Structure 1
Amino acid sequence: MKTRAAVMLAPGEDWKVAEIDLAPPRFGEVLVEFTHAGLCFSDEHLRHGGLGDLPAVGGHEGAGIIREIGEGVTGLAVGDHVAASFIPTCGRCDWCVSGHSNLCASAANSPGSADPDTFRFSLDGNTIPANCGLGTFARHSVVSAKTVIKVDPEIPLDVVAVVSCGVLTGWGAAVHAAEVRVGDTVVVVGAGGVGINAAQGARFAGAAHIVMVDVNPAKLEFAKRFGSTAEFDSPAKAAEYLWSVNPVAGGADVVIVCTGNTTQAVVTSAYEMLGTRGRLVLAGMSQDVFEPNVHLPGTQIVFREQTIRGTIYGSCNPRHEVPIILDLYRQGRINLDELVSATYRLDDINDGFADLRAGKNLRGVVAHG
């Protein structure tokens, strides 16, 4: 069959919207009609050529409806509403069975790791990969059944789309990776789609103070709706405030970095807000994913018993936690509708990414169709 998709042909170019060929599902695969796709900085990293092979169909955050089932697929049916999971959950590898399915061994999200035998898209007669094995920037995609999660059909699919990546990444960064505790003072650096949900996770975990740091005043104002208790446009201003609210630690108990381009300067300024026995969590990537961007005073980390760690997918188990987050949304206990600040047609995807880079949106969503 043919489908319309946004394709990145070479590093640094704009997305090209084209009609491309799509092969039918094989064993263990499903055909998904993606109704919505989130615009995430990770696809910007793909655009710069550091996160996967090009050319490729973009998109790793999304939601849609199953239209066809391949042989050997169980637990899913035609018509099911699903969330995309940019890391699969095979349920068999050591990481999955030990409760760390965000590190599933069958993931294909690192440069050069995608198996050409899994490529179902073709452009000009040549097979091409889909970002993270998903390609949510295509109206239709054939994906492994391990990369979709069945959801309640009553929940709007644009909401499901943003939960599939940005919400879980931020939420889990606070709840799982940072292990925010009742009474903690938490700083979130970067008030975008991931950072806002780190604030929601910190609030849910019982943080006493949630401090947002971002240079964009509109995002800081928006953060107040998601649990922020104080907002600053620079780490230096935040650091002064932290001493006043948490003098024993001399800084934050937790600092979570959620910036779209996490440079060495960003990491260093984040560390300078960290208090004694504090936990610094890196949830945002650098534009060059191999860039050495952590250069910190190790002996001070020893003296103050501080912890530095990274997190992918918020250290969540997506098949378990996507339904949990959506149930909390249904109960009115977390905000998700407000995350979708702009909706674009597929033909306008380059405008959407321009708005993302300019900091105009909390989360932009492409609506297929």
Structure 2
Amino acid sequence: MRAALQSEIGQDKLEVVEDMEAVGFGPGKVKIRIRATGLCHSDLSAMSGVLPQPAPFIPGHEGSGEIVDVGDGVTTHRIGDRVLVCWLPPCGHCPACKRGQGHLCLEAFGNVATPNFRRTGTGTDVFGFAGTGTFAEEMVVPAACAVPIPDDLPYDIAALIGCGVTTGLGAAINTAQVETGSCVAVIGCGGVGISVIQGAKVRGAAQIIAVDPVASRREAALRFGATEAVAPEAFADAKNRITAGEGFDYVFEVVGKSATTQTAYEMTRRGGSVVVVGAGALDDNYSINMFSLFFDEKKILPSMYGGGDVLRSYERTIALWRAGRVDLAGLITHRVHLAEINDALDQMRTGVALRTCIEL
């Protein structure tokens, strides 16, 4: 089958190969024919080495498709089921899951260190990003990674729900629990940031300020519910003008850097919440002085995969989409085929595209 391969960490381009096969099928596993996958900035971070990932590997962790084979012992799925890919499924029995924090379950991370692809021409083992690897026509994953979806949910939208949309909406709804009438700022308005904006709107925020250096992203933020959009250099002025200098009730950092996290902290009012959504590098440390931490009582809330119950978040997102409360189709700025993936990567690096849907 075809797949997009990265042979070494740090390569800018992916190689579309035709001698890849999905391996590891057996008891408890399912094989999925991928129909659509989203291009997320986390894929770029894995390619560049910001996020740890063994190589060679196939990027992609937002995907959807249909089940083409079911392993022994799998009773929850049938051939032909339409599913989305959950790269971090809750096991249901570990301490984190029992506390209702399935998004912190570590059991699925065992998949990351196990190759789930192989090149037939060379016999080389190949990893899938985050234990998945949706930039391939087929993949084998544990049954828990394949979450059934309703027939009326298009594959491209389902793919985005698998990570970016769930992460953004959940940060506002689950992690921050944005209060009605509050004042919100969102730093970084790619696909996840736009989903944060939509989540804050669903929660009833009165003012939502989008902050991004790319003009097209600021324009998109306004279409998705932001009440104002500014460039980073105008953020401080917006704080003074909108909050009389006090700071925002919630500031979401959706970039994954210590510098923007510091900005988020400075722009948050005393007693407000700094919500860290961006996935950063292991060697990028954030520090704060102890007096400010005590005296200002600002809450620093990391948001992993949107917080809360991931499977329940999927259901809620689908319900909001059906009701017209969130726009998911609008997140997809363009669709490409696997052969055009490198052009899509270049667009993502420029900061222009919100999300690219790759149709396989």
TM-score, normalised to structure 2's length?
0.94
Match of 1:307 in 2: 299
Match of 1:175 in 2: 173
- Could you list the runs of 5+ residues in structure 2 that have no partner in the other structure? none
How many residues were matched structurally?
355
Match of 1:59 in 2: 60
How far 1:24 sits from its partner (Å)? Answer: 6.0
Quick one: which amino acid aligns to residue 220 of structure 1? R
Match of 1:29 in 2: 29
Question: What is the SS of the residue equivalent to 2:163?
Answer: helix
Match of 1:241 in 2: 238
Match of 1:207 in 2: 205
The range that moved more, 40-49 or 157-166, is 40-49
Contact 1:168 1:316 survives alignment (8 Å): no
Deviation by residue 1:295-323 (Cα, 9 ceiling, x = unmatched):
33331231111111211101142212212
Match of 2:323 in 1: 331
- Could you list the runs of 5+ residues in structure 1 that have no partner in the other structure? none
Match of 1:149 in 2: 147
Contact 2:2 2:136 survives alignment (8 Å): yes
The within-5 A match list for 1:199-348 is 199-234=197-232, 236-247=233-244, 250-259=246-255, 262-286=256-280, 289-348=281-340
Question: What is the SS of the residue equivalent to 2:108?
Answer: coil
The within-5 A match list for 1:82-121 is 82-108=83-109, 114-116=112-114, 119-121=115-117
Quick one: which amino acid aligns to residue 48 of structure 1? S
Question: What is the SS of the residue equivalent to 1:237?
Answer: helix
The range that moved more, 166-175 or 41-50, is 41-50
Quick one: which amino acid aligns to residue 241 of structure 1? A
> Partners of 2:106 and 2:302 in 1: how far apart?
18
Quick one: which amino acid aligns to residue 274 of structure 1? T
The range that moved more, 42-51 or 220-229, is 42-51
> Partners of 2:216 and 2:113 in 1: how far apart?
42
- 2:31 is the alignment partner of 1:39: no
> Partners of 2:293 and 2:227 in 1: how far apart?
27
> Partners of 1:64 and 1:302 in 2: how far apart?
49
Deviation by residue 1:131-190 (Cα, 9 ceiling, x = unmatched):
111110011001111112111022111011111111011111111122211111111000
Contact 1:239 1:272 survives alignment (8 Å): no
How far 1:237 sits from its partner (Å)? Answer: 2.2
> Partners of 1:301 and 1:232 in 2: how far apart?
28
Match of 2:192 in 1: 194
> Partners of 2:52 and 2:78 in 1: how far apart?
32
Question: What is the SS of the residue equivalent to 1:67?
Answer: strand
Deviation by residue 1:94-125 (Cα, 9 ceiling, x = unmatched):
1122211111121328xxx7343xx3311221
> Partners of 2:246 and 2:132 in 1: how far apart?
44
The within-5 A match list for 1:68-83 is 68-83=69-84
Quick one: which amino acid aligns to residue 235 of structure 2? A
The range that moved more, 206-215 or 88-97, is 88-97
Contact 1:67 1:79 survives alignment (8 Å): yes
> Partners of 2:69 and 2:26 in 1: how far apart?
10
> Partners of 2:211 and 2:140 in 1: how far apart?
40
How far 1:244 sits from its partner (Å)? Answer: 3.5
Contact 2:66 2:82 survives alignment (8 Å): yes
Evaluate the alpha carbon distance shift between residue 207 and residue 217 of structure 1 in structure 2; reply closer, same or farther with a 3 A threshold: same
Quick one: which amino acid aligns to residue 312 of structure 2? H
> Partners of 1:137 and 1:318 in 2: how far apart?
22
- 2:22 is the alignment partner of 1:17: no
> Partners of 2:80 and 2:24 in 1: how far apart?
17
> Partners of 1:273 and 1:264 in 2: how far apart?
14
Contact 1:185 1:208 survives alignment (8 Å): yes
Identity of aligned residues (%): 33
> Partners of 1:191 and 1:131 in 2: how far apart?
24
> Partners of 1:272 and 1:314 in 2: how far apart?
23
Q: CA RMSD in A?
A: 1.6
Deviation by residue 1:338-360 (Cα, 9 ceiling, x = unmatched):
01101111111111111001122
Evaluate the alpha carbon distance shift between residue 347 and residue 316 of structure 1 in structure 2; reply closer, same or farther with a 3 A threshold: farther
